[in-house]
Structure 1
Amino acid sequence: MQMSRDALRFAYRQMRTIRAFEDAVNRAFSSGEIPGFVHLYSGQEACAVGVCMHLDDKDYIGSTHRGHGHCIAKGCDVDGMMLEIFGKAGGLCGGKGGSMHIADIERGMLGANAIVGGSPPLAIGAALTAKTLGTGQVAVAFSGDGGSNQGTMFEAMNMAVVLGLPVIFVVENNGYAEGTGVEYAVGSRSIASRAAAFGMPAACVDGLDFFAVHEAMGEAIERARSEGPSFIEARCVRHHGHYCGDPQSYRSKEELDAARSEGDPLLRFRARVSASALLEETELDAIDVEVEEKIATAVLKAGAAADPSPSALLTDVYVSY
């Protein structure tokens, strides 16, 4: 089904926002303004946006340590995200979570997760709740190729099939678990076919192609709301290292250059919609300018914001029921 022009503009704006956000975070981290570790999502924008455009605030996602793109695609406020990453008061988690633990329950974002393979158990919990209460909600578990080898993933997929849960497992296979190549670490060579063995429909798509991800997710979410779980392996590339500062000795300069040119989902999107006369280059350029200004403002606000009060140190630690 052909998407409307408004939907195409929205998709590009979301992907462009992720890219601009990550570029800004990379600069700020490199200059020492951001504490902790940062794992950039650049290059995988088509995955997050292609998936999350089918969701609304009541649906849930569980994320990874590389979670900024998922947050933005799910509708989290970029000002609040930037404050959080800078460790400032007013951040989505009060400046206490930082890059790897951003969460926004009001947007159905259950949180980025420093535990590799940590999101599938959370997602099936949300999906079980939705099925039990009959709310019609869907949950999505994002993982990487490294996370796909974790026992938590296997147990979650099995339980999802056994209980017929409205959950979709999305593995963003960017080729490397930190620095370990997927060809070495995945014995079956196909993450999707391994998932299918658990008894659910599983697809492998070009994760650099927004339209391919969007179509696969459309089928999966329809199945989730009526039947049960699905699995999507989106093959993509990351433009940066595993973390900011990663020397990336495990891949050549030629491979990295190709990832940033041939493997750029934004360039692919622009080429397709321009060639099909669905959107004009001038429209896309205007979105670029608008997004850059928005992210620049978010950085300025975060840099000038106050640190969390010392009195807040012991809050949000325990919950009383």
Structure 2
Amino acid sequence: MQLSREALLQAYTRMATIRQFEERLHDEIKTGEIAGFTHLYCGQEAAAVGVCEHLDDDDMIVSTHRGHGHCIAKGCDVKGMMLEIYGRRDGLCKGRAGSMHIADVSIGMLGANGIVGAGAPQAVGAAIAAKLDRKGKVAIAFSGDGACNQGTTFEAMNMAVVLKVPAIFVFENNHYSEHTGPDYATATATDIAGRAEAFGMKVWRANGSDFFSTYDAMTELLAYVRSTNLPAAIELDTERFYGHFEGDPQRYRGPGELDRLWAERDCLKAFRARVSEAKLIDIADLDAIDAEVAALIEEATTEARAAPPPDPANVADDVYVSY
């Protein structure tokens, strides 16, 4: 599908924002000011953006422990996210969520999740609501290759088919479930999408390190789901450039593996090369976006450092729903 120049610029802006946001966190976490585990999304930007560029605020997504990229791709406020990760009062979730549980229901981001495979049942519930609303909306569960071995994911896929709901299961296969490759831990290592196919749903496969491959596959997939109200799945072959979590020594990596990935599977480099070679966008315009994003990330970080923490007097707020 041919995208407009404006659409291409927006896609690049979101991918660049994810990359710079994560790289800044990679540096900031070393200061000790950010509490809890953090799992960075660098390398997988094309997957999140290629999926979410099709969505509006009424389409819903459920994320994973590696959720910053999904949040930004769905439109979460970057400054609000940085405040949240720093545990500040004015964060997106008032400083209560931290890195692994950021949510913004107002734009259809139902939350990141620290439990592997836990997002799939939530997405099915959201898909049931979408079907009842009859507005042609969908619910997407992002997960990694590790989640394909979870019973919750199997049950969710089965339920989605049985109930005939517009749930989409996006498997980002970055080739490491924490520290274990799918060739060791997954019987269908080279075909995770086939597991969803076994439940009776249509599946797609795409290069998750290529924005255009992901975007085009999602164009077809979403047209099918929106028109039929039936579930579907897609496997995106991608890579993560940092460890499973910040501080992971990555001893499971082979010699030179990371250097090869940065050189050969960097989705931002691939995007820049494609649009410039096709004379769709000048490199200077992309460089200008990089500079604007850098200024935004710097501002967000500076403000987050200086922002006040939550008031202990409000510790019981939002614990229970008031009807």
Normalising by structure 2, we get a TM-score of 0.98
For the 8 Å contact 2:204–2:221, the answer to whether it is kept is: no
Q: Which digits, 9 at most, give the CA deviation of each residue in 1:172-205, with x for residues without a partner?
A: 0000000011111110221011211111111221
> Tell me, what secondary structure is at the counterpart of 2:292?
helix
Aligned: 1:25 with 2:20: no
What is the alpha-carbon distance in structure 2 between the residues aligned to residue 215 and residue 159 of structure 1?
27
Distance apart, 1:253 and its partner CA: 4.1
What is the alpha-carbon distance in structure 2 between the residues aligned to residue 40 and residue 198 of structure 1?
31
Aligned partner of 1:310: which letter?
P
> Tell me, what secondary structure is at the counterpart of 2:206?
strand
Question: Where does 1:26-65 land on structure 2 (aligned, <5 Å)?
Answer: 26-65=26-65
2:281 to 275, 279, 282: 279
Task: Tell me the residue number matched to 1:199.
Answer: 200
Task: Tell me the residue number matched to 1:142.
Answer: 142
2:244 to 242, 247, 272: 242
Point out where structure 1 has 5 or more consecutive residues left out of the alignment: none
Aligned partner of 2:195: which letter?
R
Aligned partner of 2:226: which letter?
R
2:311 to 309, 312, 317: 309
> Tell me, what secondary structure is at the counterpart of 1:176?
coil
What is the alpha-carbon distance in structure 2 between the residues aligned to residue 47 and residue 209 of structure 1?
8
Percent sequence identity is: 58
Distance apart, 1:133 and its partner CA: 2.5
Distance apart, 1:108 and its partner CA: 0.4
> Tell me, what secondary structure is at the counterpart of 2:256?
helix
What is the alpha-carbon distance in structure 2 between the residues aligned to residue 256 and residue 28 of structure 1?
21
Aligned partner of 1:81: which letter?
M
> Tell me, what secondary structure is at the counterpart of 1:117?
coil
Aligned partner of 1:124: which letter?
V
Q: Which digits, 9 at most, give the CA deviation of each residue in 1:44-102, with x for residues without a partner?
A: 00000000000001110000000000000000000000000000010010001000000
Task: Tell me the residue number matched to 2:112.
Answer: 112
Distance apart, 1:30 and its partner CA: 1.2
Normalising by structure 1, we get a TM-score of 0.98
Task: Tell me the residue number matched to 1:10.
Answer: 10
For the 8 Å contact 2:136–2:227, the answer to whether it is kept is: no
What is the alpha-carbon distance in structure 1 between the residues aligned to residue 135 and residue 11 of structure 2?
27
Task: Tell me the residue number matched to 1:187.
Answer: 187
Aligned partner of 2:183: which letter?
E
What is the alpha-carbon distance in structure 1 between the residues aligned to residue 105 and residue 282 of structure 2?
36
1:288 to 284, 287, 290: 290
Task: Tell me the residue number matched to 1:233.
Answer: 235
Query: Moved runs in structure 1, 4+ residues, more than 2 A?
Result: none
Point out where structure 2 has 5 or more consecutive residues left out of the alignment: none
Distance apart, 1:167 and its partner CA: 1.4
For the 8 Å contact 2:5–2:281, the answer to whether it is kept is: yes
Task: Tell me the residue number matched to 1:211.
Answer: 212
What is the alpha-carbon distance in structure 2 between the residues aligned to residue 145 and residue 291 of structure 1?
30
For the 8 Å contact 2:64–2:114, the answer to whether it is kept is: yes
For the 8 Å contact 2:18–2:45, the answer to whether it is kept is: yes
> Tell me, what secondary structure is at the counterpart of 2:91?
coil
Task: Tell me the residue number matched to 1:77.
Answer: 77
Task: Tell me the residue number matched to 1:251.
Answer: 253
Task: Tell me the residue number matched to 1:124.
Answer: 124
What is the alpha-carbon distance in structure 2 between the residues aligned to residue 126 and residue 213 of structure 1?
23
Number of matched residues?
Answer: 321
Distance apart, 1:263 and its partner CA: 1.3
Aligned partner of 1:244: which letter?
E
What is the alpha-carbon distance in structure 1 between the residues aligned to residue 246 and residue 133 of structure 2?
42
Question: Superposition RMSD on alpha carbons, in Å?
Answer: 0.8
Distance apart, 1:130 and its partner CA: 1.1
What is the alpha-carbon distance in structure 2 between the residues aligned to residue 219 and residue 164 of structure 1?
18
> Tell me, what secondary structure is at the counterpart of 1:143?
strand
What is the alpha-carbon distance in structure 2 between the residues aligned to residue 202 and residue 285 of structure 1?
36
What is the alpha-carbon distance in structure 2 between the residues aligned to residue 122 and residue 220 of structure 1?
20
What is the alpha-carbon distance in structure 1 between the residues aligned to residue 235 and residue 13 of structure 2?
24
Distance apart, 1:320 and its partner CA: 3.0
Aligned partner of 2:216: which letter?
E
Q: Which moved more, 1:182-191 or 1:113-122?
A: 182-191
